[in-house]
Amino acid sequence: MFSKTAEYALRATIYIAQKSSEDNKLGIEEIAKSIDAPRSFTAKILQLLTKDNEVISSVRGPNGGFYITEKAKGLSIRTILETIKEDDVFTKCVLGLKACSEAQPCPMHFQYKPIKQQLIRLFETKTIRDLAKELKTGERFLANFRPRKKTRVTK
Amino acid sequence: MFSKTAEYALRATIYIAQKSSEDNKLGIEEIAKSIDAPRSFTAKILQLLTKDNEVISSVRGPNGGFYITEKAKGLSIRTILETIKEDDVFTKCVLGLKACSEAQPCPMHFQYKPIKQQLIRLFETKTIRDLAKELKTGERFLANFRPRKKTRVTK
DNA sequence: ATAAATAAAGACAATTTTATCTTTATTTAT
DNA sequence: ATAAATAAAGATAAAATTGTCTTTATTTAT
Ligand code: FES
Ligand code: FES
């Protein structure tokens, strides 16, 4: 569905939203590890999202790092995707026609359309804050669980 | 949503299903042109689908070409996607976790799940024949329409 | 002022996807 | 049998995506 860039962007944003605040900024090291993504690549992606501090905010120097404002937490998932130019799902045809339109529909169009609308609705209505809250329940994951060989039993 | 490979595979298959028969086989040239895809790349993709004549059938030599049997027209879109190993949409997590599972759901999982199920249902129930029929109505497209500069008006 | 900590920027590299070109094998018609 | 037409196979190349490394700029603490 999404590129690696988009996946890391979403996971990182949700992680930052859940864990950070203006006076508890997170370093790239911690973020990348927590979402199980390559460090430098994640840094590059965050650079896109920190442009003008629009989605994610950052400051350099000691005690610097990434955080996200309460205001930005109200942004939709769609906003994140658009910021990183991953908006295919909103515009493209499922069979790859340049545009998805009723004027020149592909053979799947009318069956796909209602599903696409739900996807759009989902990404438009869900905010960063919503997803961070889900994560906070502790029963949601942003990285692959590494199962232990055995359950450690202490005597 | 899908790779170029998948898009071309689907468009080509639908085109072949609508236009060909066992005694009216189609050449790669015509197919590629009709679906607006690169010729040699399309040929490569058709090689995947003609493996064992499972989805698409082919014969070489004069009057050779590609066609699809009535039986194969009953195959689902999912079968095409699986044949070319494009089955992410059926298995992967929307945020990129290795697996989409209730055991370790991502923060979008429970919202995305019902939509995903509709996608799966769509690709599983729609057959090649269904889509070929849609195309036959003449009001569906497999290539981008090239608009004319002006509407030609004959006196 | 200086040093240290941090993200930003930029250059580079590896991998995957997309695309093309050439050669080979198969089939048909003559 | 031969030639022609076609897809299959294989080699290569271009482009895009993913990933890494090095240098620079900024901020803070001393
Ligand atoms: S035209 Fe293909 S999905 Fe709308
Ligand atoms: S776990 Fe992410 S969509 Fe199911």
Q: Is-contact A133 A70, C-beta < 8 A?
A: no
* Distance in Å, CA A47 to ligand 2 centroid: 26
Q: What pLDDT shows up at residue B151?
A: 52
The residues pairing with A24 across neighbouring beta strands, listed in sequence order, are A21
* Residues of B (84-143) whose Cβ lies below 8 Å from A: 88-89, 92, 94-98, 104-109, 111-112, 115, 118-119, 122, 126, 131-132, 134-135, 139-143
* Nearest residue of chain A to residue B131 (CA atoms): A107
Looking at the CA of B10, which ligand is closest? Answer: 1
Average pLDDT, chain A: 93
User: What pLDDT score does A153 carry?
Assistant: 55
**Per-residue pLDDT reduced to its tens digit, A52-92:** 899 999 999 999 999 999 999 999 999 999 999 999 999 99
Residues B75-87 have a mean pLDDT of: 97
Q: Inform me whether the pLDDT recorded for B35 exceeds 80.
A: yes
Instruction: Mark yes or no for CB contact A140/B7 under 8 Å.
Output: no
Half-sphere exposure of B146 (CA within 13 A, CB side): 3
Q: Say what the pLDDT of residue A144 is.
A: 84
Q: Are A107 and B144 inside 8 Å of each other by CB?
A: no
Measuring from the CA of residue B27 to each C1', which nucleotide is nearest?
A: D6
Quick check: B36 and A95 in contact, CB under 8 A?
A: no
CA A7-A13-A14 angle, to 5 degrees, is 90
Ligand nearest to the CA of B94: 2
In this predicted structure, what is the pLDDT of residue B146? Answer: 60
Got the DSSP string for B62-127?
TT-EEE--TTGGGSBHHHHHHHTT--HHHH--TT--SS--SSS--TTHHHHHHHHHHHHHHHHH-B
Mean pLDDT, residues B76-88 taken together: 96
Give yes or no for residue A146 having a pLDDT over 90.
no
Q: pTM of the predicted model, to two decimals? A: 0.92
Handedness of CA B15, B18, B20, B22 (dihedral sign): positive
A18-46 pLDDT per residue, tens? 999 999 999 999 999 999 999 999 999 99
How many residues would you count in chain B? 155
Domain boundaries, chain B: 4-135
Please compute the mean of the pLDDT values over residues B15-27 and round it to a whole number. 96
**Other beta carbons within 10 Å of A113:** 14
Give yes or no for residue A154 having a pLDDT over 90.
no
User: Measured between alpha carbons, how far is A58 from B5 in angstroms, rounded to an integer?
Assistant: 39
How is domain B4-135 classified at the CATH fold level? Arc Repressor Mutant, subunit A (1.10.10)
Query: Is the CB atom of residue A38 positioned under 7 angstroms from any atom of strand C?
Result: no
